[in-house]
Chain A
Amino acid sequence: MDPVIAEGLRVSGLSYVLIFVVLGIFYGLVKLLLRILPRRDDLA
């Protein structure tokens, strides 16, 4: 396989997976924040 195509496939696949990983971390973060800082704890 053309090395540039192979590198493109590697970068594309890895990037797409990593987007899910990063947003998955954000998902966990939001769930955690909602649990430890519910509406009634609002200082505002």
Chain B
Amino acid sequence: MTELLRGIVGMSDWRVWAMFGVGLALIWLAVKKEYEPNLLLPMGFGCLLANIPFSSAVGGGFLDVLFKGGITNELFPILIFIGVGAMIDFGPLLQDPEMLFFGAAAQFGIFFTMMLALLVGRIPGVMGIPGLREAAAIGIIGAADGPTSIYVATRFAPGLLAPITVAAYSYMSLVPIIQPPVIRALTTREERMIHMENPEREVSKNVKVIFPIAVTLIAGIIAPMSVALIGSLMFGNLLRESGVTERLSKTAQNELSSLVTILLGIAIGSSMGGKQFLNPTTLLIIAMGLVAFVFDTAGGVLFAKLINLFRKRKINPMIGACGISAFPMSARVIQKMAQQEDGGNFIIMHAVGANVAGQIASIIAGGLILALVR
């Protein structure tokens, strides 16, 4: 009888009710708003499972096993990257390699937010003072790349993993709401109406096969800490582009990605215990995630405006905003904005190229942070 009653007694803790609210809110966002449903729904349900008083799913239960077996040892984000790599077509980027630099520029939010976290952490009484590692883990939300955020947070700030993941995936799904006002604030209508010629260049299969191998070797030699991330992404891409492993490529794109996403989501949800999650630091992390996305967008747009000062053939500065890793959401948003200004303006190929560059740049950023932050 006591065994049956202790669950009901456990419900007297307000944090249980609050975390039920958080879990249900994530499920609502997934089901009703379709915001990153593949991840937010398992996370929301995992959150419910973890916060039921005396839940057998945690405290040595199956969610703990999943967390230790897939998150703590960084396995799940790496497997997700194999699937992502198999889904990416680097063709638009290879046709127009200048877009790589927009991927670099749009990582600005990571570093701005990292510094902001350090500064805010030094205001007495505002936040548990983060060291450089915690600040870097918060800043990496600006990578706009869920697996990279999880990977870096697991290494640098495992206690902050849940809010960092929630922020990263939530803002990725909110890109259509976050980016347009920032872009409009930083560009004129004339700039947004700039047309760009589509690249005519054809890319051979040989280039598409050599690219993932060469990028892995170069990035790995420069920043060995990035090998797991960039290597898994490029391995997935090689499965796709080789043309001889179609079955493996499709498995990576579908079954592997889906299976790992389920396990990743529910395992992260299980880390959202009320005691760890309900504190001012969580709210600040979620607020700083928004700052990261805003400054990523600003960094990309301002970089495009800067290089336009030196170019005869101008670039539509909205392309700079596509340098974030939220693929293909950001490219779609920018194409839609371009057509709102001028119905005949098609910049989607450049936008996709910059967006794909953002995927590579965010991983390089993660690897460099892992290498440089002590």
A18-B368, A23-B103, A39-B202 known; A12 vs B210 contact (CB < 8 Å): no
What residue of chain A has the Cβ atom nearest to residue B96's Cβ? Answer: A30
Residues of A within 8 A of B105 (CB): 20
Give B residues with C-beta under 8 Å from A: 93-94, 97-98, 100-101, 103-105, 107-108, 110-111, 114-115, 118-119, 122, 131-132, 135-136, 201-207, 210-211, 214-215, 218-219, 222-223, 243, 357, 360-361, 364-365, 368-369, 372-374
Question: Does A43 contact B206, Cβ atoms closer than 8 Å?
Answer: yes
Question: Does A29 contact B205, Cβ atoms closer than 8 Å?
Answer: no
Question: Does B135 contact A42, Cβ atoms closer than 8 Å?
Answer: no
| Interface 0/1 of A3-25, CB less than 8 Å to B | 01101110111111011101111
Residues of B within 8 A of A5 (CB): 115, 118-119, 122
With contacts A15-B365, A23-B361 known, what are 6 further pairs, Cβ within 8 A? A12-B114, A18-B368, A19-B364, A20-B104, A33-B206, A43-B206
A15-B368, A43-B205 known; A23 vs B100 contact (CB < 8 Å): yes
Per the bound structure, the CA–CA distance linking A44 and B210 in Å amounts to 14
Choice from B119, B201, B219, B357 contacting A34 with Cβ under 8 Å: B201
Question: Does A27 contact B365, Cβ atoms closer than 8 Å?
Answer: no
Question: Does B98 contact A29, Cβ atoms closer than 8 Å?
Answer: no
A12-B114, A20-B104 known; A33 vs B211 contact (CB < 8 Å): yes
| Interface size of A in residues (CB-CB distance below 8 Å) | 33
The residue in A5, A7, A16, A41 that gathers the most chain B C-beta atoms within 10 A of its C-beta is A16
Among all A-B residue pairs, the 8 with the closest Cβ atoms? A12-B111, A39-B202, A30-B97, A42-B204, A44-B205, A15-B368, A23-B100, A19-B104
What residue of chain A has the Cβ atom nearest to residue B218's Cβ? Answer: A25
Q: Give min CB distance, A28 to chain B, whole Å.
A: 9
Question: Does A19 contact B207, Cβ atoms closer than 8 Å?
Answer: no
Choice from B114, B214, B374 contacting A29 with Cβ under 8 Å: B214
The residue in B100, B215, B223 that gathers the most chain A C-beta atoms within 10 A of its C-beta is B100
Per the bound structure, the CA–CA distance linking A25 and B223 in Å amounts to 13
Residues of A within 8 A of B206 (CB): 33, 37, 41-44
Question: Does B357 contact A14, Cβ atoms closer than 8 Å?
Answer: no
Question: Does A4 contact B131, Cβ atoms closer than 8 Å?
Answer: yes
What residue of chain B has the Cβ atom nearest to residue A16's Cβ? Answer: B111
A34-B203, A42-B204 known; A19 vs B368 contact (CB < 8 Å): yes
Q: Give min CB distance, B135 to chain A, whole Å.
A: 6
